[in-house]
Amino acid sequence: MSPLEIVAVLFNVVGVFLTAQRVRWCWPVSVIAVLLYAWIFYDVKLYSDMLLQLIFAGLQGYGWWRWSTGRIEAGKVRVERLPRRTAVISLLAGVVGALTLGSVMHHLTDASIPWADATLTSFSLVASVWAARKYVVSWWLWIVLDVLYVGMYLYKDLNVTAGLYAGFVVLAFYGLRAWQKDLLAQEQQAAPSTVGAAA
């Protein structure tokens, strides 16, 4: 455990909490967190995870833009359902990304556990895009990924980070319930106006 890891954990917890609250400031807070973790993962040769953190830094800007444009109510973004076609395309992209990145890391680097790291990295990108697009189901994917990340970080003796990701599982369940509740409320609000328009 290092002071850098502790600081990174704190920024990550704040970022995920703000995401669950649908507060768009989650994105700049998360930029700091991912840059700190890029350095940490480089040190322990989790190169796919390091690359993921750098990509996350760019995705934070996308998330900030998506959450800043339209569909804002009471300072919070509106959430949405994941279209089936988008789900299929996204998951196939995750598989292709995992196979491609895993192969590169396995054959061209001295990466530790390259295939597991690459798979978690690829599907984390899928989950991040889903979260940026405000899809409720993004929380389900994060729950699965975070559980697997706990095991990987324990294996790499990143015990504080493993604890962080165990906390992320709890926060993801909180985020899921909050977003599901908000989605239901949005759909109930929209229903009367739809009926009125049809009449």
> Treating both helix axes as pointing N-terminal to C-terminal, what angle do 114-132 and 47-68 enclose, rounded to 10 degrees?
0
What's the whole-model pTM score? 0.81
The CB density around residue 150, as the number of other CB atoms within 10 Å, is: 19
**Cβ contacts of residue 143 below 8 Å, gap of 6+?**
169, 172, 173, 176
d(CA 82, CA 20): 17
Distances (CA, A) of 142 to 126, 152, 175: 10, 15, 10
Give the pLDDT confidence of 73-104 residue by residue, as tens digits: 555 678 899 999 999 999 999 999 999 999 99
Tell me the domain boundaries of the chain: 3-186
Name the percent of the chain lying above pLDDT 90. Answer: 59
Give the pLDDT confidence of 157-174 residue by residue, as tens digits: 999 889 989 998 998 999
Mean pLDDT score across all residues of the chain:
88
Name the amino acid, one letter, at 34.
Answer: V
Tokens encoding 33: 């967190």
pLDDT at 134 > cutoff 60:
yes
Predicted local confidence at residue 177, as pLDDT = 95
